[in-house]
A and B are shown apart, each in its own frame.
Chain A
Amino acid sequence: MSTPRKNDDQYLWKNPLAVWGAKGGNYDVPSIRVEDPRTVWRKTTSYKAPLHKVGRFKYIHKWANHGKRLWKRQRWWPTRRSVLLIRGLYNRKTLKAEKSIVDKRPIYWAISLLALVLVPLFVPESLQFTILTAGATFGIFAAINVCWTLVIGTASIFSLATYAVVGTAAFLTAWLSINLGLPWWMLPPIGMLVGIVFGGILALPALRLDGFYYALLTLGLNELCRVYFVTSSEFGSASGGLYGASTYIGAAWAPLTQSVVSYYGAFALLVASLFLFRFIDGRRLGRILRMAPEKREAFAEATGVNYRQARVTVFLVSSVALGFIGGFYTAQYRGVAYAIFGFDTVLLGLAMLTIGGIGRVEGAVAGTLIVVVLDKVFITLGPIRHIMIGVLMLFVVLFLKNGLFGMKQQFRAWRDKKKGEWRSSRTEKGGEALPEEATEIDDKDILYRKRFDKMQREHLKTLVCEEVIEEHKNKPLGQHSEALERLLLYFRRTPQNDKYAIRRDSRGKRYKIVAFSGVRGTSPRLVEDKEYETVEEAYHGVFRRRVYDLLEA
């Protein structure tokens, strides 16, 4: 029952009251030495696990706030949308009122777009043409990818025919411009018409097919467009594309002016596509479709969401936008090459989306930037730059759950998992509340009481030994040695429910151990059938039970 002790732990305890002739209690008993409770307290309350600083990063500035100021918000005139979503809260430590920006993305967008506006002013002379050309390509491809994100992410239609729509619109507008002499400003609207027709044709199978069946079908349709345009007699030519359409870039302008104008034209296209994304994904249609993600359509349908109509609407709208981009493409480059239908274009486009994160508009733009910089700026590297893009794509697919912009979420999930592991490894079990449930209990006194109780029990367990039990057996009442006294004080303080008591049988004059129910009106239950002759024996029986419970718990 008790751990073996060294001999010098034992000593002969003398009852201090004995000299006064007190009745009851032992006069002297062999007992064990009890350590100074202050030492025990210091030892048990010292924290063994290494501590790390917790809390907010000091370098993140928080603006001071006043409750009144929260109601003043800057809004985009004339709508009621606020420029920045700001939440007021009180610092839990200093109790100061603070402002916190809930969604910082508008700030990042503004900074990035401003940087794109300023790029032409700061490029070095030697790289001017390379970077401006790459920037124009980036603007157009980013606009295409934003629309593609609308199809894949918002409408969750895994279409790979995006570039086919753009290419078809570009080819048809180029052909019309060459043969009918249409001016450049008519090309994007005509492209929109082409887009809606092509989008309508593509939307038909999208209603029936799901997921990868549709992806593979559209991959084939892309190839179909390529083969058709390459082999047809109207569009086919030896120059690898159809060129000679009218353009908004004046042929008489200086080469640098041409580059700058085409850069800002493409940038305007990108901003327009971002607005389109915002107005579809951030409003009613986007909300409806967020209700009906893939494989949960049945639930959405049951709640009355007509997700098919919403998907087809988004698909058609983005097809129109892609047609517009196709027309713009022709108006910018005077025509279009067959390469736009190529498998490699689809591959690079998918690489752009994947690297940034499929379904995120910031991912689409950032991925386009990375791929276009690798592809167009490092053009001297030859095939190696495509290998680099492929390796980047492979890395992202293998290690990131949802592209570069999913990294934060993925890191947080990983960190929370690790945190839980570390915490559980240093938590001591037994009586104490687990950290997870501790946050749920409002009255923190309960937690401290539990922790103190656990520490006390751990200490009292070390006091139980043969001598103490023998001492209690000899004299259950009266003055006791320190070890026994501490045990008895703890036992007497236990709460009423399931507390042991002694009941005297009125006829047989014998004693039995019972336990209180702790509920008024409910009689105590009988703990055991054993009967005791005297009340002292019964006291000792209760003591043995309590010691047993202490050691077992």
Chain B
Amino acid sequence: MDIEFILINGIVIACIYGLIAVAVSITWSSLGLLNLGYGFIFAFAGYGAYVTSRSLSEYPPVVLAAGVLVGAVGGVIICALIFIPLHEKPNFTVRGMVGTLAISLIGSQGLLWWFGPRNKALPEIFGRWQVEIGGTVLTSDKIGIVVCSIVMLILIVRWMRSSRRGLEIRAMMMNPHAASIVGIGIRKTGFYVMGITGAMTGLAAVLLSQTYYISPFSGITPLIKGVSIALLGGLGSVRGAVIASVILGFAESLTSTVLGGQYVLITQFLIIIAILMIRPRGIAGILDVAREQ
């Protein structure tokens, strides 16, 4: 058992699932929508990248950009179909969640119908090279995954900190009602948020497809992992989600090395339940106040 291997695997897993967790967290806190349609967006973006690589070009940045763009489009579709018509109706949270699940059902079955059940593979985006640092071999896809997701996360956090739109989103996260009173358009912000989070999911899809194949239901496991991380981090907290993704990433790589793959989810959920039993609002409940709704 070597520590470096566990460490590196943990970071890679944390990066991919962290993207989805942050997306779930941002959507929940700014729109009050529990979006379980990220599984569909994930598969949708994967197929978008696949179609692009087949019909347009296999040039890696194009494939990457196609995945991100198609993911953003998927987010906008969910926003237009679920958030816009439902956000001021009674019982929005339950209906919104069920609505995103319906979109997920329609979307994944539609993909199955259109593309068939056979798995699809994306071209290698980061090439085939490796670096050795202090006796540890780092393959290209691992470095690429870590760099891409961290760059994406930093860009989004910077954008949310410094831009006008980011200010609007942060205002919505703090208090959606007051934000709408001071003139921030809920619908417009909804489109921004869903576009951005969809793009994050799309990136995660392209990155994960370096390891796994793309299939109509490939988004479900990442969705459940992302949601669990968001849950552990406390819904609505980006910092909590990042910390939780690191914790769960290490737990996953440690368990799969020491105990075996089938115990990964068990240890993860033991950790999640243990932390949630102490802090019902997750890690964010220790850091700061999470949105309650």
Tell me, in angstroms, the Cα distance from A387 to B109 when the chains sit together: 6
A231 touches B86 (CB 8 A): no
B276 touches A394 (CB 8 A): no
Of B55-63, B94-102, B159-167, B170-178, which stretch is located at the interface?
B94-102
CB contacts (< 8 Å) of B101 on chain A: these are 347, 350-351, 393
Within 8 A of A (CB), among B180-212: none
Q: Is the interface of A mostly helix, strand, loop or mixed?
A: helix
Q: Given that A401-B90, A401-B91 are known contacts, is A216 also in contact with B102, CB under 8 Å in the complex?
A: no
B109 touches A210 (CB 8 A): no
Within 8 A of A (CB), among B74-95: 81-82, 85-86, 89-91, 93-95
Of A22-30, A176-184, A217-225, A455-463, which stretch is located at the interface?
A217-225
Of B46-54, B127-135, B141-149, B219-227, which stretch is located at the interface?
B219-227
Tell me, in angstroms, the Cα distance from A354 to B91 when the chains sit together: 13
B277 touches A394 (CB 8 A): no
B102 touches A397 (CB 8 A): yes
| Partner of A231 from B81, B90, B261 at Cβ < 8 Å | B261
B102 touches A390 (CB 8 A): yes
B99 touches A394 (CB 8 A): yes
CB contacts (< 8 Å) of A348 on chain B: these are 105
Q: Does B269 contact A (CB under 8 A)?
A: yes
Q: Is the interface of B mostly helix, strand, loop or mixed?
A: helix
Q: Does B228 contact A (CB under 8 A)?
A: yes
B235 touches A350 (CB 8 A): no
Bitwise, A190-221 to B at CB < 8 A (1) or not (0) is 00000000000000110011111101110111
The 8 closest A-B pairs by CB, nearest first: A390-B106, A231-B262, A390-B105, A393-B102, A383-B113, A386-B109, A394-B102, A224-B265
Interface residues on B, range: 35 or more
CB contacts (< 8 Å) of A210 on chain B: these are 280
Residue of B nearest to A223 (CB): B224
Residue of A nearest to B112 (CB): A383
A351 touches B102 (CB 8 A): yes
Some 24 contacts from A to B, beta carbons below 8 A apart, are: A204-B277, A205-B273, A205-B277, A208-B280, A211-B93, A212-B34, A212-B93, A213-B235, A219-B36, A220-B272, A224-B265, A224-B266, A228-B262, A343-B39, A351-B102, A383-B113, A387-B113, A389-B105, A390-B103, A390-B105, A391-B106, A394-B81, A397-B95, A401-B91
Q: Given that A386-B105, A387-B110, A394-B103 are known contacts, is A224 also in contact with B269, CB under 8 Å in the complex?
A: yes
Within 8 A of B (CB), among A383-431: 383-384, 386-387, 389-391, 393-394, 397-398, 401-402
Tell me, in angstroms, the Cα distance from A499 to B102 when the chains sit together: 70
Q: Which residues of B contact A (CB under 8 A)?
A: 34, 36, 39, 81-82, 85-86, 89-91, 93-95, 97-99, 101-106, 109-110, 112-113, 217, 220-221, 224, 227-228, 230-231, 235, 261-262, 264-266, 269, 272-273, 276-277, 280-282
CB contacts (< 8 Å) of A384 on chain B: these are 109, 113
| Partner of A219 from B102, B103, B224 at Cβ < 8 Å | B224
Interface centre among A212, A228, A343, A344 (most CB of B within 10 A): A343
Tell me, in angstroms, the Cα distance from A389 to B280 when the chains sit together: 35
Q: Given that A358-B94, A401-B90 are known contacts, is A383 also in contact with B273, CB under 8 Å in the complex?
A: no
Residue of A nearest to B269 (CB): A224
Q: Does A227 contact B (CB under 8 A)?
A: yes
Q: Given that A208-B277, A350-B101, A390-B109 are known contacts, is A397 also in contact with B86, CB under 8 Å in the complex?
A: yes
